[in-house]
Every structure is written in C-alpha cells, then in structure tokens.
C-alpha cells in the first residue's frame, strides 16, 4: 500500500498532515455530537471494558467476530479508533495519530465496515491474514502471518461511519489457539478475560494489553504476537502529530532488580522472571473534553515506539538507580547524566532530550490508568 518514492512520498506526507490537522480541527463537531455535555469523551478506563480487577491486573473485553482467509472464525478486540466519533460510538480509546498510518503497509485494508457493538454478532469481518497462536517451542508465543497487522481500515468504497477510520484490532482467538494474555474465552457472550501488564504514565499505574511487538525479543518479553508489519507504522524516532502514528514508551534496560524490591524496574528484571518491565508511557488515553485539545492526550497512540534507556555507570556506582514512573523524571534523568540511550545509533528524537529510538514498536493499548499515584 505504501509508495516510497518521488511524488508518491510527497503526496503521502501531505495526506498525513491533512489527516492530523483535520482530526484536531474537527474536534468540536465530532466530540459534541456523540456525548453528553460535560461527560468525559475518553475516560481513564477503556469504556467497553468489563469487570476490571486492578489488583489482579485482569479485565473482560468484548470481542468481535471475523473470518480468516480460509473462512474460519476469528475473534478480535477493538481498542482504538482514529476519530472521536468512532471512539465514542464503539466505546474505545481515541487515537487521532493513527490516521497518519492510513496508507502504510502497517495497516490492513478491510472490505467490510467494523460493526457496532450491537451488530458484532451478525456481521463477521473478513481479514486477509491472522495470527498463528500454536507456536513451536523456542519461538515467540504467537507469530503474525504475512500481511497481518492489528491496525485496520475499511477501504474507501466501504460506506458507513467506519469509512476512512483506522482502528487497532488485535486478534486474540482463532482456529490455531488463543493469545497468551487470554485466560478465558466465552464464545456465547463474545468476550474474553485477559491478563494485563503494568506500566506507568504521569506517575500513575497503568494497565495495558500486551498485544503485539514488532521484534522477536519484545514479543518474547511481553508474551505478545510477533508482528513485523508494525515496523511500517510511521515513524522511527518521530511522535509528531503531523506525521507519526507512534507515541513514546521508555524502557529501562538495567533498572534495580529484586522481585520484592519497591524500586524494581527494567527489561533486565522482566527477563529474569521478576515481573513486568514497568515501562513509562509518554501519554495516556484520557480526553476530558473532546472539543478542547488542551484537555486531551492527542499524542496518544496504542502503537508505541520504544526508547531504551540505561542507567549510567556513575548512577549505578553511587546507588542512584530508582523506579521511574513519569516521563518528566525520565527526561530529567537524561539531562542530569544519570540515564543514557541504550541504542545510541538509533534516530534521535529532539523532542525527547535527544534520546535515540530503538526502532521496536509495541501495540499495547491502554485499558486503565489508576485514579491515584501508586506502585504495582
């Protein structure tokens, strides 16, 4: 789908900019038409989520029925939409930057509209590709078939409110098995019970669905689907509204260890089996008033560009390593010389204290942000 040369590239850049400007310029019209006055447009908990257990890190999500290329049933979660109207209608998170991925290979085109929550039983959505959950020993827990990506958009010829919208729809159950996060699947009720992972945003505990990862190493770490097509989501080292469909995620690679330590954090700790890596997300999904962009995290996207950070030797020797829960503390650590890029050869993001992007992408939709500051 992508055109990477000459006039095609310039046209795509213009389309991205227009999509981003349009998403923001149309906030008043789309927001006020789909919600009650003074009601949150996008709350801190995924509106469609059911029976959230913050202590256990578990939630029930509705699933939609789809069809794989062989005509067999598959079931996917709907977690994000690129327009506020569709996000409100579907009860999912609003991620306007997803519109910037519309014409990229990281988005799978659909020949049918995404149904409403009420019609999801009657209107299965055909997909050109899905996931292989019955993985072989030693491989990631699930592997995407060629052409599969959790980002989808109906073709321009498809009528209805979903036309032109980009959605995040990770496949969780199909004929080959279930996503590792799924602990229960109720086919009659069309819902799944899933285990969530813990991270932080703005000093608050956040729970997310560890759905997909572009690299094999992060797929193993997260217990997620290995989805290389996420590499095509624009763009490495860019979180801008005009061109990017990624938001920043900070991953500490050598944080304090110890399963019971209140300071524990890092991919090193997670790989040792001590718990989640406890990433720091740059933005949340919360949108207090969709008619006012200043009250919304318009940079939020369920597709996170990973920025790996390492504590410096001096910070380790002087015992200054600690758990980080806010992106501002991360930036302060970088500027103060306590943290440095763990992938220094990656593209530098000048808006993030010149931290280098690793290139990895996680599709990890936020499900809940705690109302209070706190630790896992």
Q: Which of 271, 304, 267, 272 is nearest to 285 (CA)?
A: 304
Cβ proximity of 229 and 149 under 8 Å: yes
Percent of the chain with pLDDT over 90: 74
| Higher-confidence position of 332 and 34 | 332
Average pLDDT over residues 325-337: 97
Read off the pLDDT band of 128 (50, 70, 90): very high
User: Sign of torsion, CA 367 76 306 219?
Assistant: positive
Q: Are strands 167-168 and 151-154 parallel, antiparallel or unpaired?
A: antiparallel
pLDDT per residue as tens digits for the range 2-16: 333 333 333 333 334
* Contacting residues for 62 by C-beta, under 8 A, at least 6 apart: 48, 50, 77, 78, 117, 120, 190, 191
Q: Work out whether the CA dihedral 144, 267, 182, 369 comes out positive or negative.
A: negative
- Report the pLDDT value the prediction gives residue 123, as an integer from 0 to 100: 81
Output the pTM of the full model: 0.89
Q: Region 99-107: what's the mean pLDDT?
A: 94
Contact call for residues 285 and 47 (beta carbons, < 8 A): no
Token pair, residue 210, equals 């560890």
C-beta separation of 310 from 340 below 8 A: yes
Q: CA Rg, the chain, in Å?
A: 20
Q: Is 347 within 8 Å of 355 (Cβ atoms)?
A: no
Rounded average pLDDT over 16-36: 37
- Which residues make Cβ contacts (< 8 Å) with residue 73, sequence separation at least 6? 65, 66, 67, 124, 174, 175
pLDDT tens digits for range 170-187: 999 999 999 999 999 999
Among the ranges given (26-35, 92-101, 234-243, 315-324), the one the predictor scored with the smallest mean pLDDT: 26-35
Q: Give the burial class of 276: count Cβ atoms within 10 A of its Cβ; 0-12 exposed, 13-18 middle, 19 or more buried.
A: buried
Average pLDDT over residues 24-47: 51
- Residues 221/208, Cβ–Cβ less than 8 Å: no
Q: Which residues, listed in sequence order, are joined to residue 61 by a DSSP beta bridge?
A: 192
pLDDT at site 60:
98
User: What tens digit of pLDDT does each residue of 192-249 get?
Assistant: 999 999 999 999 999 999 999 999 999 999 999 999 999 999 999 999 999 999 999 9
Q: What is the mean pLDDT of residues 329-356?
A: 95
Spatial distance between the Cα atoms of 312 and 97, rounded to a whole number of angstroms:
33
pLDDT value at 331 more than 60: yes
Confidence of residue 40 (pLDDT cuts 50, 70, 90): very low
d(CA 71, CA 66): 9
Partners of residue 67 on adjacent β-strands: 73, 126
Q: What is the pLDDT of residue 194?
A: 98
| Residues 293, 291: Cα–Cα separation, whole Å | 6
Per the DSSP assignment, residues forming a β-bridge with 108 are 152
Confidence of residue 29 (pLDDT cuts 50, 70, 90): very low
> Residue 139 has what pLDDT?
82
- The percentage of the chain sitting over the pLDDT mark of 70, rounded to a whole number, equals 86
43 pLDDT band, cuts 50/70/90, is: confident
Q: How do residues 271-318 score in pLDDT, each as one tens digit?
A: 999 999 999 999 999 887 766 666 688 899 999 999 999 999 999 999
């Amino acid at each position: 789908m992508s055109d990477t040369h000459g006039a095609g590239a310039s046209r795509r850049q213009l389309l991205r900019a227009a999509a981003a400007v349009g998403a923001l310029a149309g906030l008043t019209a789309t927001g006020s038409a789909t919600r009650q006055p003074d009601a949150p447009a996008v709350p801190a908990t995924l509106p469609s989520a059911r029976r959230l257990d913050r202590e256990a890190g578990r939630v029930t999500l509705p699933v939609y029925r789809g069809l794989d290329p062989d005509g067999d049933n598959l079931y996917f979660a709907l977690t994000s939409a690129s327009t506020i109207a569709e996000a409100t209608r579907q009860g999912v998170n609003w991620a306007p930057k997803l519109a910037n991925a519309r014409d990229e290979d990281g988005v799978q085109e659909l020949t049918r509209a995404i149904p409403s929550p009420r019609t999801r039983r009657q209107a299965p959505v055909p997909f050109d590709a899905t996931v292989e959950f019955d993985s072989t020993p030693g491989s990631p827990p699930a592997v995407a078939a060629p052409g599969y990506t959790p980002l989808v958009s109906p073709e321009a010829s498809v009528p209805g409110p979903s036309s032109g919208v980009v959605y995040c729809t990770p496949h969780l159950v199909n004929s080959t098995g279930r996503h590792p996060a799924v602990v229960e699947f109720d086919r009659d009720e069309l819902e799944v019970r899933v285990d969530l992972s813990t991270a932080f945003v703005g000093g608050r505990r956040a729970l997310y669905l560890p759905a997909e990862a572009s690299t094999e190493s992060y797929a193993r770490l997260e217990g997620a689907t290995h989805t290389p097509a996420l590499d095509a989501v624009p763009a490495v080292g860019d979180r801008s509204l005009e061109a990017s469909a990624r938001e920043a995620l900070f991953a500490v690679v050598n944080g304090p260890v110890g399963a019971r330590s209140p300071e524990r954090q890092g991919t090193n700790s997670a790989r040792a089996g001590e718990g989640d890596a406890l990433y720091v997300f740059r933005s949340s999904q919360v949108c207090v008033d969709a008619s006012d962009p200043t009250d919304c995290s318009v940079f939020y996207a369920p597709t996170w560009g990973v920025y790996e950070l390492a504590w410096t030797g001096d910070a380790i020797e002087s015992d200054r390593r600690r758990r980080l829960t806010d992106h501002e503390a991360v930036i302060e650590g970088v500027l103060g010389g306590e943290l440095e890029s763990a992938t220094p050869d990656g593209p530098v993001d000048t808006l993030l204290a010149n931290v280098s992007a690793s290139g990895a992408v996680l599709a990890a939709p936020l499900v809940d942000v705690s109302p209070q500051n706190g630790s896992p």
